[in-house]
Structure 1
Amino acid sequence: MCHLILFLPVFGLAVFLVWPLSMAGPIYTVIFVLSLLMYVLVIRVMRRPVITGSEALIDSRVVVVGANGDHWRVMVGNEVWEADAPEPLRSGESVRVVGIDGLRLKVSRLGSGAGSTE
């Protein structure tokens, strides 16, 4: 149903069947301009970065809170996640999330690993 709004300029052509050209022209112009503004807003929203879900965790900084066997535990906001790291980490160290495998994060030291900008 919401996709029908994208066809508003096409549906707006019906004003030319109902009213004379002197009235239909300005009415259709308003419909067309409002549609263009809506398209611009939709494209802006679609280009925004992900801010929710596990995808938003990638490239974020987290703090190591301890070890659990051969895995690490990291604090992400108010949550504790299991993490894998290619090298040993220290408790209290800040690391960067470089990927997600199911419910386990893949982390690396700051300044190393994929996706690092430092």
Structure 2
Amino acid sequence: MPHPVDVHVGKRIRHRRWLVGMTQQQLAESVGIKFQQIQKYETGANRVSASRLWDIADSLEVEISFFFEGLEHEGDSPREKTDNVPTDILGDKEALDLVRSYYAIPENQRRRLFDLARVLSEVA
């Protein structure tokens, strides 16, 4: 059974790769491995070594800490924070599509849409 941290890191890799519009094949080529290995990392089936995570972070243009955001320690059991958000929001294609579409909107319209969403969520 995969360790929860490996699963979380894998989700964060998939999330960032998807947001930048990179395929598993493109990421694999940029770090010098086969795309099947990226698949295993993203599912948490294989643990990512520190040096490989460094290369992935470089390819995805994020800091190493990005992959650990959203984790908290409670004793020896790391858990994902939820804050009323589904645990696997990074694995939800619809949510990621929404984020990508949101950032494609011009900034002034995006701000208005954000304000509308905030008001709607408060009344729901």
1 or 2, which has the higher helix percentage? 2
Interval of TM-score (by shorter of Structure 1 and Structure 2): under 0.3
Q: Give TM-score, length-normalised by structure 2.
A: 0.20
1 or 2, which has the higher strand percentage? 1
Q: Give TM-score, length-normalised by structure 1.
A: 0.20
Bigger Rg, structure 1 or 2? 1
